[in-house]
Chain A
Amino acid sequence: ILNVEQSPQSLHVQEGDSTNFTCSFPSSNFYALHWYRWETAKSPEALFVMTLNGDEKKKGRISATLNTKEGYSYLYIKGSQPEDSATYLCAFPMDSNYQLIWGAGTKLIIKP
């Protein structure tokens, strides 16, 4: 059974501080690793899709790294702002049909 684990489950961070959280996934049969941000009352929004071991992606203050050999990805947020408050989800294609299985998410709350 394939499983995607995210930690921590929730995180309170002071505005201006930097933070990071983890997504763990099966290291065999790797296709890609997806990160999404889900703000309250909105749709999940794609942040990154990473396909190569050692990949690093950046979007503004948010960046992600990927280690396919050990099966983990980190998401970093630099200088957290209130608009970063959201649930961050990672997802892993489970088979050659590329259907995604999802972690339960990390809920990030930025304290002003």
Chain B
Amino acid sequence: ETGVTQSPTHLIKTRGQQVTLRCSSQSGHNTVSWYQQALGQGPQFIFQYYREEENGRGNFPPRFSGLQFPNYSSELNVNALELDDSALYLCASSRQGAGEKLFFGSGTQLSVL
């Protein structure tokens, strides 16, 4: 158990809708990273939040947005859902630094119909 929880575990939405995914961070961690994982690929970096500020972003459009709260938990919001957004969304909490291990939640499986 990593102490990182994600909700919901599964979600079905239709094209054009909006979705919010949530992630708690492990005690003592101030950084949350979000990843999109499609079958057969490694996780793709969406963005990272460090002390409530966005700290870098991958190659995802602006309709992917996020928040980090004072307790370091985080949300990922996706607007105007597209079919290609169907994937497993993982969050990971850590301390800040290249040598710090990531602690992952179990993921949210999003299906867009």
A residues near B (Cβ < 8 Å) are 4, 31-32, 34, 36, 42-46, 49, 51, 89, 91, 93, 95, 97-105
CA distance A43 to B106 in the complex (A): 5
Question: Which residues of the other chain, A, contact B105 by a CB distance below 8 angstroms?
Answer: 43
Judged by a CB distance under 8 angstroms, whether B102 is at the interface is: yes
Residues of chain B from 17 to 56 with CB closer than 8 A to chain A in the complex = 33, 35, 40-45, 48, 55-56
Question: Which residues of the other chain, B, contact A95 by a CB distance below 8 angstroms?
Answer: 56
B2 touches A43 (CB 8 A): yes
B45 touches A99 (CB 8 A): yes
List the A residue with the shortest CB-CB distance to B4: A43
Question: Which residues of the other chain, A, contact B104 by a CB distance below 8 angstroms?
Answer: 43-45
B70-113 interface code vs A (CB 8 A; 1 in, 0 out): 00000000000000000000101000111111111111000000
B residues near A (Cβ < 8 Å) are 2, 4, 33, 35, 40-45, 48, 55-56, 58, 90, 92, 96-107
Supply 21 A–B pairs (Cβ within 8 Å), ascending by A. A42-B106, A43-B90, A43-B106, A43-B107, A44-B43, A44-B90, A44-B102, A44-B104, A45-B104, A49-B101, A89-B42, A98-B96, A98-B100, A99-B45, A99-B55, A100-B33, A101-B42, A102-B35, A102-B44, A102-B45, A105-B42
Question: Which residues of the other chain, A, contact B40 by a CB distance below 8 angstroms?
Answer: 104
